Homo-oligomer: A and B are copies of this chain.
């Protein structure tokens, strides 16, 4: 196994990244992007050869993916990428609703107004962003992430943030299906604005209800998108 560090040692943004971490991120990304569709069998030897790490760190990576719920496996019979059907999506949104409503409530109570005022301005500019094509779309998704991060920071609860992170992981797999619906994204931006306004105002109840509405709309849209294309597109 030749040079593991093909890149210059000083190039990385931080540490050169361990083999197990690399394997985890790559597999996770490929599952989330649909490159490894649900049902795909993950063979240790095959995957370790493909990614370029030995079996030991690859096993660690798969163990983490199992903990994430992205991979399932029976002992002695291999591992497969977990399925993501309509029922799973409904179930996921059920948990998401509980957690995000609670988070919104807490965020409205503990928020730093300045942070959300800045976000408000950015969301006001979202419709213009969405008119800019692919790059604008990317920046819009980054904005959503910023919002989620701001809520997480306001909540300041490792358990809640962790549970939300788990939900968001699975959500990333779903989002791919409903991508590219400008009308929906514009509506979503407006819904986010409502939530942000409620948080700024410190109105816990309104923040929770606005979040509820937003998630219900989101779920409806996702389910409709899936009706359109029964089985997700796969490379």
A160 touches B91 (CB 8 A): yes
* Separation of A122 and B83 alpha carbons in the complex (Å): 39
In the complex, chain B residues whose CB is within 8 Å of the CB of A159: 69, 88, 91-92, 94-95, 167, 170
Within 8 Å by CB of A98, from B67, B75, B94, B99, lies B99
Is the CB of A22 closer than 8 A to any CB of chain B? no
| SS of A interface (majority) | helix
Chain B residue nearest in CB terms to A158: B91
Copies held by the complex: 2
Q: Interface with B: A38-46, A56-64, A196-204, which one?
A: A56-64
Q: Is A78 an interface residue (CB 8 A)?
A: no
Inter-chain contact B60/A160, CB cutoff 8 Å: no
Residues on B with C-beta less than 8 A from A173 are none
Chain A's interface size range is 20 to 34
Minimum distance in angstroms from A87 CB to a CB of chain B: 9
In the assembled complex, which residues on chain B have CB atoms less than 8 Å from the CB atom of A158? 88, 91
Contacts of A186 in B (CB 8 A): none
Question: Is A97 interfacial (CB 8 A cutoff)?
Answer: yes
Contacts of A95 in B (CB 8 A): 99, 102, 157, 159-160, 163
Q: Given A18-B75, A98-B99, A98-B102, does the pair A157, B91 have CB atoms closer than 8 Å? A: yes
User: Which residues from chain B contact A92 at a C-beta distance below 8 Å?
Assistant: 159
Q: What 10 pairs across the A-B complex have the smallest Cβ distances?
A: A67-B67, A98-B102, A91-B157, A95-B159, A95-B160, A63-B63, A98-B98, A91-B159, A163-B163, A92-B159
With A91-B157, A95-B99, A99-B163 already in contact, 9 other A-B pairs whose C-beta atoms are closer than 8 Å: A59-B60, A60-B63, A69-B159, A91-B159, A94-B159, A94-B160, A95-B157, A98-B102, A163-B163
